[in-house]
Chains A and B, each alone.
Chain A
Amino acid sequence: MTRVSEHLNQALHDLMEADPRVHVLGEDVSDPYGGAFKVTRGLSTRFGDRVRSTPLSEGALTGVGAGLALAGDRAVVEIMFADFAALAFDQLVNFAAKSTSMYGRPVPVPLVVRCPSGGNRGYGPTHSQSPQKHFIGVPGLSLFEMTPFHDAGELFARMFALGQPCLFFEDKVLYTRRMYEGGVVDDLFRYELAGDVARVFLDGVTEPDCTLIAHGGMTHRALAAMRELLLEEDLACELLVPARLHPLPGLPGLERARHVCVVEDGSEGGTWGAEVARLLYPRLWSTLRRPIGLISAADSVIPAAPHLEREVLVQPGRIRHTIAEALS
């Protein structure tokens, strides 16, 4: 069994081994600490000064990564908590992303900015957010998110091949979960990969009652809801987990579902899920029987106390009840 954090760590080792142009930068990424979530463990020992623990300067370290990329190298930048990506907003939006096109020709900026995101760990309002929505629709900026289905090494290769800066969200609750292998999720669910999208399904069900669309960090909560919906409400659900969040890849099979619901852990209002729905409406208009469902975290800061945090973030029970109600 491989945990997601170990899998990411191995992918970074492989990446740096295979490509001497790759640098890793971030706060506390060097050994023996190896990053706040241990994803960079062992890299500085193996790869020396291609791995740099930086001062607490998210803006500048993102800019340094962009500079290395501009000069012909490749950079993986770690923002310790995705919340702090706000400190790098100018470098990401006004420099790295724009530089790919504002000079009148494509300029490659192979830069991956890793952002450990998400809550349910009691870290409180400034260390728990899923800030994907703030970066959607920036020309030249792509958003990816780790999932327990996708090979991280392939995702890194894919992001660098774009030649554009990419934000790579890694929901912190995933780190200790295992990577799924061999097309099997559990006793009920199977999965398959179609390009950037993982499709989780019940064997033999071709016309699900509901297809859920969720980002990687929502996977386990969505699966828990799907299990309850099946066993207790007799509703068969399918789940699509795109590793690329923006621009959104093609999502397979939605025309067959009775209901489509997007589930996300960002706070409601101007969200990734709303953008997914906007893209899907024209395509599904003739087959939709009801509005696309949208389940987001509450319009609230994320409290530290576990009982309060649970109320704000999206939990399996809320997914279950929302979908059951829509289909009742």
Chain B
Amino acid sequence: MIVTVPTPAGMRNAPSPPADEDLELLLLIRHFELTLLRLFEAGELSGTTHTCLGQEYIPVALKPLLQEDDHVFSNHRGHGHFLARHAEPYGLLAEIMGREGALCAGVGGSQHIYHRRFLSTGVQGESLPVAVGVALKLKGSGALACAYIGDGTWGEGSVYEALNMARLWRVPLLVVVENNGIAQSTPTSAQMSGDIAARAAAFDVPHHRVTSTEVGEIRAELAPLVAVVRGDCRPLVAEFVTHRLGPHSKGDDTRSPEEIARAGDHDWYARYARMFPDPFDRLDRERRELVERIAAEVTARPPSVWEQR
């Protein structure tokens, strides 16, 4: 069965201003990610990182739909997922920078974080079977397991093994697909035959496609479907059609300037700045300054120590 709920008509053209709380979180994630790229350019960060520029609204929209006792599984592009789940930007940046106060002592870094029922891993599709196992344990408790994956993740066999089990065993699993149309450098059209809806349908897993980038609209669409995941223990694939504004990691964007500009047309940041200068400008400045302070403070910390081996 495919559940397809149409986007409420008329709402798309007249978005209401986001709540300050949501806008603050969106902006926190935006400035966090921009700061990471800046720190990289300045040689302050090692290794690699994957920013979610343009996709921040997805975890922000999901935030109130998730309960305290839910488990969240994230991937390589997980900073936004984390910040929308736990308001701990200092700990996250310390983890990425390998500084004191790091969430995981600096061992995991950007892509491997386990903190208060939030777990990220760096191998595509690997978390879905694990999420099924956790959901099996949560079944009947009212809590769910939420796993973020991308469009590229659908190339991994583990996705299908997990969806099959999730539906067979009726576990409360919410699969959030951030379909940004590009897997590292390969367009989805060059790496996916068919589409995600049909793949979900093949497993009798309900699928819902979200095209809105308005957190209020998205919540209204998804809330009843997420309630079914919890109450009825039926998995759901929620596919967000989204746009990645930045590079896959850093400085590795092979898209044309026109293509990147087209992605930018969907950016909530520019839209809100234009439509709601008050309170946008004020909150934008506040979050930017906050992240600047966080970066300065964390950069000055001593290196993390891996004590509990």
Docked-complex contact B105 and A105, CB < 8 angstroms: yes
Q: A64-B136, A73-B137, A107-B114 are in contact. Are A55 and B165 (CB under 8 A)?
A: yes
Per-residue CB proximity of A92-122 to B under 8 Å, as 1/0? 0011001101111111000000000000000
B163 to chain A, nearest CB (A): 9
> Chain A: which residue is nearest B105 at the CB level?
A104
User: Majority SS of interface residues in chain A?
Assistant: helix
> A60 contacts B162, CB within 8 Å?
yes
Once bound together, how far apart are the Cα atoms of A69 and B132, in whole Å?
Answer: 12
Complex contacts, B138 vs chain A, CB 8 Å: 71
Instruction: Kindly supply a per-residue 1/0 record for chain A positions 52-85, scoring 1 wherever the CB is within 8 Å of any chain B CB and 0 otherwise.
Output: 1011010111111111111111010000000000
Which of B34-42, B120-128, B183-191 lies at the binding interface? B120-128
B308, A67: Cβ atoms closer than 8 Å: no
**B104 to chain A: which residues have CB within 8 Å?**
102-105
User: Are B129 and A63 in contact (CB-based, < 8 A)?
Assistant: yes
Q: Does residue A90 face the partner (Cβ distance < 8 Å to B)?
A: yes
Q: Is the CB of A104 within 8 A of B107?
A: yes
Is B103 engaged at the interface, CB distance under 8 Å to the other chain? yes
Q: How far is the CA of A69 from the CA of B112 in the complex (A)?
A: 18
* Chain B hits for A61, CB < 8 A: 129, 161, 165
Q: How many Å lie between the Cα of A59 and that of B133 in the bound state?
A: 12
Known: A102-B107, A102-B112. A59 touches B137 (CB 8 A): no
A91: Cβ under 8 A from any B Cβ: yes
C-alpha gap A54/B103 in the complex (Å): 35
Expressed in whole angstroms, the Cα–Cα distance for A62 and B126 within the complex equals: 11
Q: Which residues of A contact B165 (CB under 8 A)?
A: 54-55, 57, 60-61, 64
Contact A59 B158 (CB under 8 A): yes
Identify A64's interface contact among B71, B106, B115, B132, CB under 8 A: B132
A residues 256-308 in Cβ contact with B at 8 Å: none
B53 contacts partner chain A, Cβ-Cβ < 8 Å: no
B134, CB-defined interface residue at 8 Å: yes
Is the Cβ of B133 less than 8 Å from the Cβ of A70?
yes
For B109, the closest partner residue in chain A by CB is A102
When chains A and B are docked, how far (Å) is the Cα of A68 from the Cα of B120? 16
The one of A55, A72, A95, A104 in contact with B126, judged by C-beta atoms closer than 8 angstroms, is: A95
Give the CA-CA distance A90 to B306 in the complex, in Å: 25
Output the least CB separation between A13 and chain B (Å): 22
Q: Which residues of B contact A67 (CB under 8 A)?
A: 129-137, 145
Q: Give the distance to chain A from B218, nearest Cβ to Cβ, in Å.
A: 27
B132 adjacent to A70 (CB under 8 Å): no
How close is A100's CB to chain B, nearest CB, in angstroms? 10
Q: Are A104 and B108 in contact (CB under 8 A)?
A: yes
Give B229 Cβ to nearest chain A Cβ, in Å.
17
A103→B113 contact, CB < 8 A: yes
- Interface presence of B164 (CB below 8 A): yes
Roughly how many angstroms separate A68 CA and B134 CA in the complex, as a whole number?
5
With a cutoff of 8 Å between Cβ atoms, the chain A residues found around residue B130 in the complex are 63-64, 66-67, 70, 91, 95
Given contacts A54-B165, A55-B164, A62-B129, contact A103 B108 (CB under 8 A): yes
Pairwise interchain contact A63-B168, C-beta atoms closer than 8 A: no
- Mask, A27-61, CB within 8 Å of B = 1, is 00000000000000000000000001011010111
Task: Please give, as numbers and ranges, the residues of chain B lying within 8 Å of A72 by CB-CB distance.
Answer: 137
Chain B 20-34 near chain A by CB (<8 Å), digits 1 or 0: 000000000000000
- Tell me the bound Cα distance from A133 to B304 in angstroms: 35
Please tell me if the beta carbons of B133 and A68 are within 8 angstroms of each other in the complex. yes
B282 interface hit (Cβ, 8 Å): no
B40 to chain A, nearest CB (A): 22
A68 to B165, CA, bound (A): 14
**Residues of A contacting B308 in the complex (Cβ-Cβ under 8 angstroms):** 104-106
Q: Which of B108, B114, B126, B129 contacts A94 (CB 8 A)?
A: B126
- Interfacial chain B residues near A98, Cβ < 8 Å: 112
| Complex interface: chain B residues within 8 A of A102 (CB) | 104, 107-108, 112
Shortest beta-carbon distance from A126 to chain B in Å? 18
Bound-complex Cα distance A55 to B129 (A): 12
Q: Is B61 an interface residue (CB 8 A)?
A: no
Q: Do residues A94 and B162 form an inter-chain contact, with CB atoms below 8 A? A: no
Most A CB contacts (10 A, CB to CB) among B115, B158, B306 go to B158
How close is B172's CB to chain A, nearest CB, in angstroms? 12
Q: Does B169 contact A (CB under 8 A)?
A: yes
Whole-angstrom CA separation of A71 from B112 in the bound complex: 17
Contacts of B126 in A (CB 8 A): 63, 90-91, 94-95
Q: Which residue of A lies closest to B135 (CB)?
A: A67
CB distance from B127 to the nearest CB of A (A): 8
Residues of A within 8 A of B132 (CB): 60, 63-64, 67
For B105, list chain A residues within 8 Å (CB): 104-105
- Do residues A95 and B133 form an inter-chain contact, with CB atoms below 8 A? no
B137 in contact with A63 (CB, 8 Å)? no
- Asked if B102 is an interface residue, CB under 8 A from chain A, the answer is yes
List 19 A–B pairs whose Cβ atoms lie within 8 Å, in order of A's numbering.
A52-B169, A55-B161, A55-B165, A57-B165, A60-B161, A62-B129, A63-B129, A66-B130, A67-B131, A67-B133, A91-B130, A91-B158, A102-B107, A103-B104, A103-B107, A103-B108, A103-B113, A103-B114, A103-B115
Using a CB–CB cutoff of 8 Å, the interface residues on chain B facing chain A are 71, 102-108, 112-115, 119, 121, 123, 126-138, 145, 157-158, 161-162, 164-165, 168-169, 304, 306, 308-309
Residues of A within 8 A of B (CB): 52, 54-55, 57, 59-73, 75, 90-91, 94-95, 98-99, 101-107
Query: With contacts A101-B107, A105-B105 known, what are 16 further pairs, Cβ within 8 A?
Result: A60-B164, A60-B165, A64-B136, A64-B165, A71-B138, A90-B123, A94-B123, A102-B104, A102-B107, A103-B114, A104-B104, A104-B106, A104-B107, A104-B304, A106-B309, A107-B114
The 8 A-B pairs of least Cβ separation, nearest first, read A67-B133, A63-B129, A104-B105, A60-B161, A104-B104, A57-B161, A103-B114, A64-B133
